[in-house]
Amino acid sequence: MRTEYSFASGGGIQAGADRKVPYYQPQGQERELFTQAWQQQLPVLIKGPTGCGKTRFVAHMAAKLGVPLFTVSCHDDLTAADLIGRHLITAGSTVWVDGPLTQAVRAGGICYLDEVVEARKDTTVVLHPLTDDRRILPIERTGEVLQAPPGFMLVVSYNPGYQHVLKTLKPSTRQRFAAMTFDFPRPEVEAPVVVNESGVASGMAERLVGLANSIRRLAGVDLDEAVSTRLLVYAAKLIAAGMDPRVACRSAVVEPLSDEPGTIAALMAVVDTQFPA
């Protein structure tokens, strides 16, 4: 039996047992590299654009390895206590409640910090003792020093496209991780992903991927962000449910990318070339 946990500050922890291995279509040797990093007890940093499959990959690997997964969605207000834990008053007494990082260490699972650059630098410093040969987690408020078991792994991710001077990983933090770079899948890989996730016909999936790649060539010039595989799946689900492809693409692909009427019109012109009226 395998249990997966998902944590977001303020949202609590959810668990589900006996879940099947999440679908993931490999692009190279990323699964082998991740497995070796886990076996060698190395922390891993995953870089890549929004919606390219980083989170799905980590969930897939946790299931393949048979270890619990604790996912933290990082943000500006994330504190060290959110990760490690805190004392809470309940029923007239004070009790200690572990945070997701502490739970992952105790359980010998994977702790995945999504978009780690969003967290404050004074928060990410608490990761350092877990990312060197010590593999320990000091808990100052309880006086404990937890030794990470062999199954524990720390994984962090971020989107390099969002980086700027105020939101980067400190060099002293970056150099504690083995790194992997993800990108949007090749068309022959991405189309089957869209089919599997949405149930749309393969020919339609290929046209959606063609649309995405046409728009991705504009990213960085007219757009701040490229079309993610996630958005393609959304559009494909709408199409599979019977919606007109142009309407589905506008709602699930074009509108999420921009608020500017001129940019939206330009993107819809690209849609028209792939899905003529």
**pLDDT class for 220, splitting at 50, 70, 90?**
low
Q: Would the pLDDT of 18 be above 70?
A: no
C-alpha dihedral (170, 137, 141, 168), degrees to nearest 10: 10
Structure tokens at 14: 């959810």
Q: Which residues make Cβ contacts (< 8 Å) with residue 141, sequence separation at least 6?
A: 85, 86, 87, 96
CA 191 to CA 185: how far, in whole Å? 9
Provide CATH code, domain 3-181.
3.40.50.300
- Mean pLDDT across 167-191: 89
User: What letter represents residue 250's amino acid?
Assistant: R
- Mean pLDDT across 11-38: 76
Q: Where are the domains of the chain?
A: 3-181, 187-274
Q: Would the pLDDT of 12 be above 80?
A: no
What pLDDT score does 90 carry? 82
What pLDDT score does 2 carry? 33
What pLDDT score does 223 carry? 76
Structure tokens at 177: 């991780």
